[in-house]
Every structure is written in structure tokens, then in C-alpha cells.
């Protein structure tokens, strides 16, 4: 090997070494090492992070603690973005998506477009533990859930059914549906809260020994096309973890997160040395860079949607960022609380 190429080879080998050994060594010996478990979630997960931390304190594996936490939200009929009471697709059918990932084993499980079962994250855990697959969808996911004894129920609540009916009535003035105000009943105010509605819970969990686990669960985009799957059940998009590094996940416009490989990107940024908050901000910048078509931009040329990323490092640091302002939930030894997202832009899209 000529001197020149030999030097280059040695340099690049050294650089590769710096990336290959890195996470485990850097994080294990890290100055930030924690003694107590930590959990981070989207803003609707305040009680979920508290429960996840309690479960990890009792010795639960992080992925199980994460699923126990999000189950509170899946079971809440008043959260219209997840599980029971989640807003349905355009045909009025609730289709749920979820995935889980377990740091110590490196395994994951997921279900998408699952109907009639309110706890898809639990079903995803079973996929991870009882099959050699990662993702089951639709009818196959339902049959799998049925076989494992999950009860089936109508996931529409009175509120979500009414929202869907009103969405259908308001969709066009040129069809045969009549909206309430056209009949002098009530105006648009009540329905405004559901327009373009998204919502989900992502939860990243870090045990006292640095093991990690994570979960994302959702009813997806309100009034979506049947069969539409967002980022939430896709490992590497709405959720990812690496036991040598930490957890990453997202909520918001799933299509943007899928196209940016959000969850995996956040974890990779931490592996390369970024703090959790900076890793999430970097993911936001990536979404901005990849959003090019006009129909997705506001008058100022910024994405006209929100996307949020959440990260927790195996040494117990947490952080989250969004394109626009918002909150997230975190629980550590100081208890559960809401924290402001780091935001790329000051004002909401116009």
C-alpha cells in the first residue's frame, strides 16, 4: 500500500473506530449516569410517564413499563387520538397502529390498521414475544390478537362517532349530506377541534441500569383513507431504540416522519454525540429540508404541519423538539411534569 493510501486507510479506520465503539463506551462511562428510571412522552402522557417510572422502579423491563404507561391513554375514551375513542377513518371505522421495541434484546413488534382491539401496544408486545415477525397488519393482526385472547369491542364512542358524522356532513357543500348549521342546529365551533386532527402517544423508557424500551400507539390521522398507516407502528419512524444509545420517537404528521426515518435518525444523532434535544432539533431540520412540495408549505415557505420528536439517552437525559411550539411530558426523580418543546419556529404556520 502506498504511503498516501495507507495513511488514508489508517485515518478512516480510526474514524470508523470512533463511530463503532462509541455508544456503549461513551454512555456507560458517561458523566450523566443516572440512578433512577426516566420516561419521556408526548404531552398526553403525563400519567403514563409517571406509571412507567413506577413500574421500572419495581423492576419491570422498560418496554413493559412503556406499554403499561401508554395503556392508560389507550383506555381513556376522552383521548380521541389513541385506542378507545380514537377518531375513525373516513368510513367511521377505528383503525389502530402501535409498535414496541426492547433495547436489551434488540427486538421489536408492531401492528397496523388493527380494528376492534383497544390496546394495540399490548398486541405489538405479543408479536415481538411470540413470533419471528415484526409487523402484522389488518385482518391478520386482528386474528392474531383474537388468538391471544384480546377482547373485541366497538372502539367508537358517542363523541368520536358524532365527530365522524359531522366531518362527513361538512366535507362538501355539493354532496347530499347536510351539516348541522344548515339545519339551524349548531355552528362549526364544536367540530373545529377535530379538523386535521392528529395525536398519538410515544413513550421512551430508561431503567436505572441504562436499559431502554419504547412504544408508540395511535388511532392515526383522523378520517384517514382506510388502510392508511402512519409512522407510529413503523420501527425506525415513529419509534426506535438502541440499548447502547437510547430511544427516539415522534408524533404529528406521520407521513413527514416516515419520509425522514425520524425515530432511527434521532437515535443515530445521539450516537454521533448530540444531546437528546439537539438530536430532535436535527430531526426537525431534516423534515424541513425534505418537505419540498408547495401544498405542504405555508405562506412563509415553512411546513404547514406540526411534527414532534422525543429522545432519551441511556444515561437518563431527555429532550424533545417540534417544528412549532408545544409541550411534552417527562418523569424522573423530580416527578412527572410538562416541559416546553424546543421549537424550530417561533410562530405557528400561516
The distance of closest approach from Cβ of residue 324 to ligand ASP in the complex, given in angstroms and rounded to an integer, is: 13
Stretch that binds ligand ASP, among 2-10, 13-21, 164-172, 247-255 (CB under 6 A): 247-255
The residue within the footprint of ligand ASP, chosen from 214, 239, 251, 261 (CB under 6 A), is: 251
Instruction: Please state the φ and ψ torsions of residue 336, each to the nearest 5 degrees.
Output: -90, 140
Identity of the residue, 81 or 122, whose beta carbon is nearer to ligand ASP in the bound complex: 81
C-alpha cell at position 185: 342546529
The distance of closest approach from Cβ of residue 286 to ligand ASP in the complex, given in angstroms and rounded to an integer, is: 16
Identity of the residue, 151 or 196, whose beta carbon is nearer to ligand ASP in the bound complex: 196
From residue 266 to residue 305, what is the string marking binding to ligand ASP with x (rule CB under 6 A)? ----------------------------------------
Are the C-beta atoms of residues 230 and 105 closer than 8 Å to each other?
no
Stretch that binds ligand ASP, among 9-17, 57-65, 229-237, 274-282 (CB under 6 A): 229-237
The residue within the footprint of ligand ASP, chosen from 254, 319, 322, 326 (CB under 6 A), is: 254
- The dihedral formed by the CA atoms of 122, 128, 131 and 132, expressed in degrees to the nearest 10: 160
Residues in 171-200 that interact with ligand ASP by CB under 6 A: 198-200
Q: Which residue is nearest to ligand ASP (CB)?
A: 254
Give catalytic status of residue 200 as yes or no: yes
Contact between 252 and ligand ASP (CB under 6 A)? yes
C-alpha cell at position 203: 413513550
Contact between 230 and ligand ASP (CB under 6 A)? yes
According to DSSP, residue 228 is labeled -
Query: Which residue is it, cell 444509545?
Result: 245
Sheet of 246-252, strands arranged across: 239-242, 246-252, 307-313, 318-322, 342-343
The distance of closest approach from Cβ of residue 32 to ligand ASP in the complex, given in angstroms and rounded to an integer, is: 29
Cα(279)–Cα(282) distance, integer angstroms? 5
Residues in contact with 2: Cβ distance below 8 Å, sequence separation at least 6, in sequence order: none
Instruction: Please state the φ and ψ torsions of residue 41, each to the nearest 5 degrees.
Output: -155, 170
Are the C-beta atoms of residues 121 and 95 closer than 8 Å to each other?
no
Cα distances from 272 to residues 15, 73, 176, 269, in angstroms, run 12, 33, 56, 5
Identity of the residue, 73 or 221, whose beta carbon is nearer to ligand ASP in the bound complex: 221
Cα distances from 174 to residues 164, 169, 171, 179, 194, in angstroms, run 18, 10, 9, 11, 21
The residue annotated as part of the active site, out of 57, 131, 198, 200, is 200
The residue within the footprint of ligand ASP, chosen from 160, 218, 261, 313 (CB under 6 A), is: 218
Residues in 92-151 that interact with ligand ASP by CB under 6 A: none
The distance of closest approach from Cβ of residue 231 to ligand ASP in the complex, given in angstroms and rounded to an integer, is: 5
Are the C-beta atoms of residues 88 and 67 closer than 8 Å to each other?
no
The distance of closest approach from Cβ of residue 184 to ligand ASP in the complex, given in angstroms and rounded to an integer, is: 34
Identity of the residue, 161 or 197, whose beta carbon is nearer to ligand ASP in the bound complex: 197
Nearest CA among 90, 252, 80 for reference residue 155: 80
The residue within the footprint of ligand ASP, chosen from 44, 232, 243, 268 (CB under 6 A), is: 232
The distance of closest approach from Cβ of residue 222 to ligand ASP in the complex, given in angstroms and rounded to an integer, is: 9
Contact between 44 and ligand ASP (CB under 6 A)? no
Cα(105)–Cα(114) distance, integer angstroms? 25
Cα(237)–Cα(150) distance, integer angstroms? 26
C-alpha cell at position 281: 432539533
The residue within the footprint of ligand ASP, chosen from 80, 231, 304, 332 (CB under 6 A), is: 231
Residues in contact with 325: Cβ distance below 8 Å, sequence separation at least 6, in sequence order: 340, 341, 343, 346, 348
The distance of closest approach from Cβ of residue 257 to ligand ASP in the complex, given in angstroms and rounded to an integer, is: 6
Residues with active-site annotation: 200
Q: Which residues of the shown chain bind ligand ASP in the complex (CB under 6 A)? A: 198-200, 218, 220-221, 230-232, 238, 251-252, 254
Amino acid at each position: 500500500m502506498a504511503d498516501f493510501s495507507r495513511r488514508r486507510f489508517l485515518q478512516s479506520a480510526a474514524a470508523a473506530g470512533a463511530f463503532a465503539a462509541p455508544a456503549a463506551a461513551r454512555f456507560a462511562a458517561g458523566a450523566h449516569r443516572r440512578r433512577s428510571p426516566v420516561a419521556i412522552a408526548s404531552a398526553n402522557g403525563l400519567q403514563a410517564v409517571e406509571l412507567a417510572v413506577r413500574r421500572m422502579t419495581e423492576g419491570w423491563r422498560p418496554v413493559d413499563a412503556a406499554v403499561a404507561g401508554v395503556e392508560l391513554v389507550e383506555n381513556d375514551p376522552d383521548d380521541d387520538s389513541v385506542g378507545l375513542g380514537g377518531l375513525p377513518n373516513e368510513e367511521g371505522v377505528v383503525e389502530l397502529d402501535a409498535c414496541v421495541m426492547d433495547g436489551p434484546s434488540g427486538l421489536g413488534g408492531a401492528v397496523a390498521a388493527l380494528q376492534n382491539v383497544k390496546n394495540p401496544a399490548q398486541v405489538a408486545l405479543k408479536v415481538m414475544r411470540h413470533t419471528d415477525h415484526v409487523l402484522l397488519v389488518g385482518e391478520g393482526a386482528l386474528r392474531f390478537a383474537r388468538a391471544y385472547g384480546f377482547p373485541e369491542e366497538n372502539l367508537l364512542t358517542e363523541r368520536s362517532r358524532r365527530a365522524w358524522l359531522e366531518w362527513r356532513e361538512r366535507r362538501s357543500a355539493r354532496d347530499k349530506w347536510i351539516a348541522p348549521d344548515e339545519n339551524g342546529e349548531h355552528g362549526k365551533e364544536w367540530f373545529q377541534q377535530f379538523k386535521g386532527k392528529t395525536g398519538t402517544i410515544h413513550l421512551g423508557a430508561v431503567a436505572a441500569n441504562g436499559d431502554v424500551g419504547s412504544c408508540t400507539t395511535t388511532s392515526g390521522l383522523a378520517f384517514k383513507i382506510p388502510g392508511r398507516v402512519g409512522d407510529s407502528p413503523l420501527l425506525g419512524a415513529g419509534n426506535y431504540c438502541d440499548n447502547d444509545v437510547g430511544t427516539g420517537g415522534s408524533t404529528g404528521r406521520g407521513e413527514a416522519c416516515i419520509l425522514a426515518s425520524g425515530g432511527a435518525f434521532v437515535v443515530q444523532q445521539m450516537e454521533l454525540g448530540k444531546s437528546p434535544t439537539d438530536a430532535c432539533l436535527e430531526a426537525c431540520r431534516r423534515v424541513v429540508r425534505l418537505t419540498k412540495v408547495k401544498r405542504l408549505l405555508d405562506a412563509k415557505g415553512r411546513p404547514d404541519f406540526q411534527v414532534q420528536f422525543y429522545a432519551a439517552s441511556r444515561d437518563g437525559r431527555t429532550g424533545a423538539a417540534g417544528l412549532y411550539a408545544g409541550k411534552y411530558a417527562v418523569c424522573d426523580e423530580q416527578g412527572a411534569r410538562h416541559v416546553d418543546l424546543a421549537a424550530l419556529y417561533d410562530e405557528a404556520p400561516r
